[in-house]
Amino acid sequence: MSEPVIKCQSVYKIFGANAERMLKEANGNVDAKTFQDNGCIVGVNNASFEVSKGEMLVVMGLSGSGKSTLLRCISRLTDATGGKIFIEGQDLLNLNNKELIDLRRNKMGMVFQSFALLPHKTVLENIAFPLQIKGIKTEDSINKAMDMVKLVGLDGRENYFPRELSGGQQQRVGIARSLAVEPDIWFLDEPFSALDPLIRKEMQDEFLRLQEKLQKTIMFITHDFDEALKLADRIAIMKDGIIEQLDTPANIVLNPATEYVRKFTEEVPREKVLLIKDVMDETTSSNIGDLKVSKDEIIENVAEKILTQEKTVAVIDSKNNVVGSINPAKIINTVFGGRKNNN
């Protein structure tokens, strides 16, 4: 595997007057309570992870868990107090102002919870803004922006002002703006949290459609666990600045690392999250029926078919080789068993 696009090593962000000194003295053992007593607030506590090219990492946590702070450290909207951050191998914290601006102009795009559109510019001007900042000619930037307007489906509204748009439409503008410079890395800070549930679902689908097309490296912040499960390649769950668990959705649901993570996973409908390969047996038993299912199917989609079988079902990979088997009883067990509340 090639070099990770984003790489964090023991990143700390501590707010307060003596943050740096205290961090040094703590010697890598940061306790939120001691820091708080000394007037410092721990935002991010020892975060280490990597995001590889084309991967979508969703950072999930409740408000105040430090997820937005983490994102701002990686986009260097705030400077991390300690640790190292590498963007495509470049040491982010050692970049000078000019290099940082270059990086943002060419490699990064960001979407904000409150849309953060410029109120005095029209949809088109907002989208063209990063291009014009880069110094691209007005005509070219406007043409490019027009393509973006079409991409997010706002044709015909390009001359509207943000105040004349609904929340969903405003966020489409925010998304289009962040994509205008064709960045490799895409940061999204709770982009859909301020939207109505119906619009939110629509935007999530739209987002998945875009990502399929664009294949960006993404860090996506949300406080909605369902959203995280729906979108993520991997999920990082944060609490009090600490990453409690970082894993695939399936692993988080199946093997929650801490009590805190378990609480989130309890209510999750597993059949919607888990794939066949997550629950299948690696061995093939003799009692196999005619039905074959792909290992990459979500359980929900094939559960009915499997449950109508009496025999064990064969699991195949994309090349039609049998790689395992699954018993209908296993499906029932996965969907209904093993939950505290239901027992």
Partner 1 sequence: MEVLKKYPKLFQWLFLLIVFFALCFAIDVPETYKFIRGQAEFVKDPNQSAFVFLGKEVRYYAFDVFWRLPPLLGWLPIWINDSLFFLMNDWMPMEFWNEDTQEYKTRPLVLQITRNLTAFMTFLIELIREILLGGLETIVAFTSWDWIDANPWAELPGLPWTIVAAGSAILAYKLGGKGLAIYALLSMTYISIFGQWKPSMQTLSFILVAAPLSFIFGLGLGIAAFKSKRVEKALYPILLVMQTMPQYAVLVPALVLFGVGDHAAVIITMIVAVPPMILLTLLGLRAVPPEVIEAGRMSGCNNWQLMSKVLIPTARRDILIGVNQVIMVCFSMAVISAFIGAKGLGFNLLLALNQLNIGLALEAGLCISLIAILLDKMSLAWANKQVDYFGNLNFFQRNKNSLFFGVVVIAGILLAYFGSIYFKDGYNYLFEVPHNKGISTASFWNKGVDWIFDTFFVYIKAFNTWLIVDVLQPMRALYLRMPAIATLVLVVGAGYLIGGVRSALVVCGLTLFIALSPWWDRALVTTYMATFGVIVSCIIGFTVGTLCFQNKHSTNFMLNICDIFQTFPSFVYLIPVMMLFGITDTSVLIAVIVYATIPATRYTIEGLRSVPAGLHDAATMSGVTKFQRLFKIEFPLAFPHMMLGLNQTIVFALFMVIIGAFIGTEDLGQYILKALSDKKGAGIGLTLGICVAFIGLIFDNLIRTWVGKRKKHLGID
Compute the distance between CA of residue 100 and CA of residue 272 in angstroms, rounded to an integer: 41
Q: Give 60 or 123: the residue with its C-beta nearer to partner 1.
A: 123
CB 91, min distance to partner 1, A? 19
**Secondary structure class of 286 (helix, strand, coil):** coil
What does the DSSP 8-state code read for residue 150?
H
Q: Can you give the binding site for partner 1, defined by CB under 8 A?
A: 72, 75, 77, 97, 101-102, 104-106, 108-110, 112-122, 124-125, 129-130, 133-134, 138, 142, 174, 177-178, 181, 187
Measured from the CB atom, is 187 or 225 closer to partner 1?
A: 187
Q: Given strand 217-222, what is the order of strands in its sheet?
A: 108-111, 185-189, 217-222, 56-60, 234-239, 242-247
As separate numbers, helices (DSSP H) first and strands (DSSP E) second, the chain gives 15, 13
Cβ contacts of residue 200 below 8 Å, gap of 6+? 192, 227
Residue 52 phi/psi, 5° resolution?
-95, 170
Q: CA–CA separation, 121 vs 189, rounded Å? A: 22
d(CA 7, CA 48): 8
**Nearest-angstrom CA–CA distance, 161 and 121:** 6
User: How far apart (Å, rounded) are the C-alpha atoms in residues 267 and 246?
Assistant: 19
Q: How far apart are the first and last CA of the chain?
A: 43
Q: Of 248, 193, 187, which Cα lies nearest the Cα of 220?
A: 187
- What is the distance between the alpha carbons of residues 1 and 125, in angstroms, rounded to a whole number? 40
DSSP letter (8 states) at residue 172 = H
Beta carbon of residue 199, minimum distance to partner 1 (angstroms, whole number): 19
Q: Which two tokens stand for residue 110?
A: 């960001």
| Whole-number Å distance between alpha carbons of 245 and 237 | 5
What SS3 class is residue 215? coil
Which amino acid appears at position 16 of this protein? G
